[in-house]
Amino acid sequence: MNYHDFQLDQTRRNFLRRGAQGLGLAAFASLLGGRQLFGDEKKFEVERWKGTINPLHHAPKAKRVIHLYMAGGPSHLETFDFKPKLREMHNQPMPDSFTKGQPIAQLQGQALKCFGPQWDFKKFGKSGLEICEHFPLIGSMADDICMIRSMKTEQINHDPAHTFMNTGSSISGRPSMGAWLSYGLGSTAENLPAFVVMTSAGKGGQMQPIAQRMWSSGFLPTKFQGVRIESKGEGVLYLGNTPGCTHDQQHDLVQAVQQLDAGRNDLVNDPEIATRISQYEMAFRMQTSVPELMDVSKESKETLDLYGVKGADGSFAFNCLIARRMAERGVRFIQLYHKDWDHHGNVKNDVKLKAEEVDRPAMALLTDLKRLGMLDDTLVIFGGEFGRTPMSQGGSGRDHHIKGFSVWLAGGGVKGGTSYGATDELGYNAVEDVCHVHDLHATMLHLLGVNHLRFTYKFQGRDYRLTDIFGEVVKKILV
């Protein structure tokens, strides 16, 4: 050992670290059915991450979140925000008082004309909540839904808008909301990650990519990032044993890697090495838990018919069923991206196509959670990264719009059968009880028992929050 290494070896930190040497291996050993790495006389248990907020800041209403993310920017004007005045003004010039000096994505310098709602709306439930006629099944759950019609965001193009909706910042590299929840609240899942992402795509719209960094852990340790599970084929890529490799051989290989990682961590004290050890442990458990999760053969015919699925077909419907199964198993944050909502043209027919893909599954998820007694402590969020313009694009479509759009919530301490906020008579600006993305994040954290002002992580000398330096809890929508 050279003098430099000798000095490092004598630090108090190194002494304490050596005292905990091998805990990662010991935890892994408990996954191997009792076969211990350090002899049979000791038994070890895997300790789940319990989060940094213990106890919670206040009593929670929700234990978990299911985010039904309609990627691409659904038109609020053909879904949840009916504007008869806009219909009256169809094909007339859009008043300058609405648009002058305002950010417009692809319509800059063009003649702006009003584009009326392309479908009729109906009133649903005892609350009389107005919803587009092509979402009758979501409408059937109107008395469980809180409709926010005054959402605002800050980024007008897809990628930065996704980044903002997920992280509260348009700057890439910040933690996603699922990562924040995993870090702060921990996991109640035995054999699944705390944060899981699934994606699906249908037809009717432009296929916008979804970047993996949307569920990144940012500057938080990587153990808190989302894990993507596929709904067709292999649930998690490269999770299973290599063909020809037996269970015992896999055990020996992972054990050797764990020992090497632990030895390296003993020298450099890198938190990412500790993360790698814990992720090997999770991967080992998921070799059994993921196939069981994805196998819906034991679900009743009534349940399968409710969602409209027969098996793992990669659809939004199947993903919604798996979301309910994950919620039952303790997954903290479940995010289901459904793409193709980018309707720059043919918005009338394409919204109808998207409605056919999401109307039944969304209703089924709420119904299923409700009959299992889980809706009360599960917060369901439905919406996209922004809305669409009241002005036409190309005569049949709508451009991106950030000044006013709709999102609905259900369960988890939210008042059902209510409408919050409003846009102006043409659906351009949110003008009543404006709800910013930061406010949505603050409200979500509040329902989970977290004060967003106190939930911070120090990075590069600054205390960061999911809500940055903004955000107010929308108390009017809470039970």
Q: What is the pLDDT along the chain (479 residues), one digit of tens a residue?
A: 443 444 444 455 444 444 444 444 334 444 444 333 333 333 333 467 899 999 999 999 999 999 999 999 999 999 999 999 999 999 999 999 999 888 888 998 889 999 999 999 999 999 999 999 999 999 999 999 999 999 999 999 999 999 999 999 999 999 999 999 999 999 999 899 999 999 998 887 777 889 999 999 999 999 999 999 998 776 665 566 667 777 677 667 767 777 777 777 777 777 666 666 666 667 767 888 899 999 999 999 999 999 999 889 999 999 999 999 999 999 999 999 999 999 999 999 999 999 999 999 999 999 999 999 999 999 999 999 999 999 999 999 999 999 999 999 999 999 999 999 999 999 999 999 999 999 999 999 999 999 999 999 999 999 999 999 999 999 999 99
CA–CA distances in Å: residue 215 to residues 86, 164, 280: 37, 12, 20
- Residue type (1 letter), 261: D
Predicted local confidence at residue 307, as pLDDT = 98
Spell out the domains of the chain, with CATH numbers in brackets: 64-459 (3.40.720)
pTM for the model stands at 0.86
Three-class secondary structure assignment of the chain: CCHHHHHHHCCHHHHHHHHCCCHHHHHHHHHHCCCCCCCCCCCCCCCCCCCCCCCCCCCCCCCEEEEEEECCCCCHHHCCCCCHHHHHCCCCECCHHHHCCCCCCCCCCCCCEECCCCCCEEEECCCCEEEECCCHHHHCCHHHEEEEEEEECCCCCHHHHHHHHHHCCCCCCCCCHHHHHHHHHCCCCCCCCCEEEEEEECCCCECCCCCHHHHCCCCCCHHHCCEECCCCCCCCCCCCCCCCCCHHHHHHHHHHHHHHHHHHHHHHCCHHHHHHHHHHHHHHHHHHHHHHHHCCCCCCHHHHHHHCCCCCCCCHHHHHHHHHHHHHCCCCEEEEEEECCECCCCHHHHHHHHHHHHHHHHHHHHHHHHHCCCHHHEEEEEECCCEEEEEEECCCEEEEECCCEEEEEECCCECCCEEECEECCCCCCEEECCEEHHHHHHHHHHHCCCCCCCCCEEECCEEECCCCCCCCCCHHHEC
Widest pairwise Cα distance in the chain: 83
Positive or negative torsion for Cα 161, 164, 165, 166: positive
